[in-house]
């Protein structure tokens, strides 16, 4: 089951954009299109992508600005610059801003497709670590991800599938803030967008299971505007 990879294409020349989109779609990617910098940032905030193809000369904000802005929030997503400028200077500026690579127009289509594929593959590895522990000791409680149960002095609690997934994700990222977007992507999948309240409900459940005081949680911390963070004790 290979997922569909999502690419954000930021390019103001409509004709060129159409060519690129067509070719990427032929390769099986889903292409989302933004025609200027502001639109690109908006889309980046709202949706998840596996790769950003970013022209440098675009209306409202340069590609460089867009890239720097994105890098403040997300270090991992691969960014590939497209540009007509091709001096060492320009390429260096792009890379400095946080891009992974730089392709000059006019470009060889096959080269573009190859780079896209390489970068997406890389992105998957950097974000998709699959660690495989299947149980976890939390204080005097014992979480078993094989049987989906929490065991404590008072007995057992059956976790549901989604509960188990989310709990495991948070524990894997112990001590790191996991953004709501990342949670949605990893637990719910790419094209599903349940209301943001849904996540809270699960956290609520966890706090109940582990008998936390929500005003001053020990394990499941909310980080306003971002997501949640699990810490152990």
Partner DNA sequence: GCCTATCTGACAGCATTATGACAAAACAGG
Partner DNA sequence: CCTGTTTTGTCATAATGCTGTCAGATAGGC
H or E element in which residue 149 lies: strand 149-152
Whole-number minimum distance, CB 45 to its own copies, in Å? 9
CB of 105 or CB of 180, closer to DNA: 180
Under the binding rule (CB under 7 A), the answer on residue 204 touching DNA is yes
Whole-number minimum distance, CB 126 to DNA, in Å? 24
Cβ neighbour number for residue 54 with a 10 Å cutoff: 28
Question: CB-based contacts of 142: which residues, under 8 Å, 6+ apart?
Answer: 135, 136, 150, 151, 152
Whole-number minimum distance, CB 91 to DNA, in Å? 34
In the list DNA, its own copies, none, the entry touching 73 (Cβ below 5 to 8 angstroms by class) is: its own copies
Bridge partners for 76 per DSSP: none
Task: Please say whether the dihedral angle defined by the alpha carbons of residues 165, 169, 172 and 174, taken in this order, is positive or negative.
Answer: negative
SS3 content of the chain, % helix, strand, coil (to 5): 40, 20, 35
Strands (E), 5-111: 6-10, 30-34, 51-55, 79-83, 101-104
Binding-site size for DNA (CB under 7 A) equals 26
User: C-alpha 23: how far from its chain's center?
Assistant: 24
Stretch of 7-15, 58-66, 107-115, 153-161 lying at the interface with DNA (CB under 7 A):
153-161
Under the binding rule (CB under 7 A), the answer on residue 190 touching DNA is no
Residues that bind its own copies (CB under 8 A): 37-38, 41, 60-61, 65, 68-69, 72-73, 75-76, 88-89, 91-92, 95-96, 100-101, 107-108, 110-111, 114-115, 118, 122, 125-126, 128-129, 131-134, 146-148, 158, 160-162, 165, 168-169, 172, 175-177, 185-187, 189-191, 223-226, 229
């Amino acid at each position: 089951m290979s997922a569909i990879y999502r690419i954000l294409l930021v390019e103001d020349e409509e004709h060129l954009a159409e060519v690129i989109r067509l070719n990427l779609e032929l390769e099986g990617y889903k292409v989302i299109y933004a025609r200027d910098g502001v639109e690109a940032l908006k889309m980046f905030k709202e949706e998840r992508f596996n790769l950003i193809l970013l022209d440098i000369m675009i209306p409202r904000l340069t590609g460089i600005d867009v890239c720097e802005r994105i890098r403040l929030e997300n270090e991992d997503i691969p960014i590939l610059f497209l540009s007509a400028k091709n001096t060492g200077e320009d390429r260096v500026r792009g890379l400095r801003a946080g891009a992974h690579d730089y392709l000059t127009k006019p470009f060889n289509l096959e080269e573009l497709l190859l780079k896209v594929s390489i970068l997406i593959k890389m992105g998957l590895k950097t974000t998709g670590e699959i660690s495989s522990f299947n149980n976890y000791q939390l204080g005097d409680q014992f979480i078993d991800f094989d049987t989906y149960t929490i065991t404590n002095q008072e007995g057992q609690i059956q976790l549901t599938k989604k509960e188990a997934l989310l709990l495991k994700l948070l524990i894997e990222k112990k001590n790191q803030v996991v953004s709501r977007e990342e949670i949605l992507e990893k637990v719910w999948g790419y094209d599903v967008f349940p209301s943001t309240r849904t996540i809270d409900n699960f956290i609520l459940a966890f706090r109940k299971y582990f008998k936390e005081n929500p005003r001053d949680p020990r394990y499941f911390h909310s980080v306003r505007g971002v997501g949640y963070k699990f810490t152990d004790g």
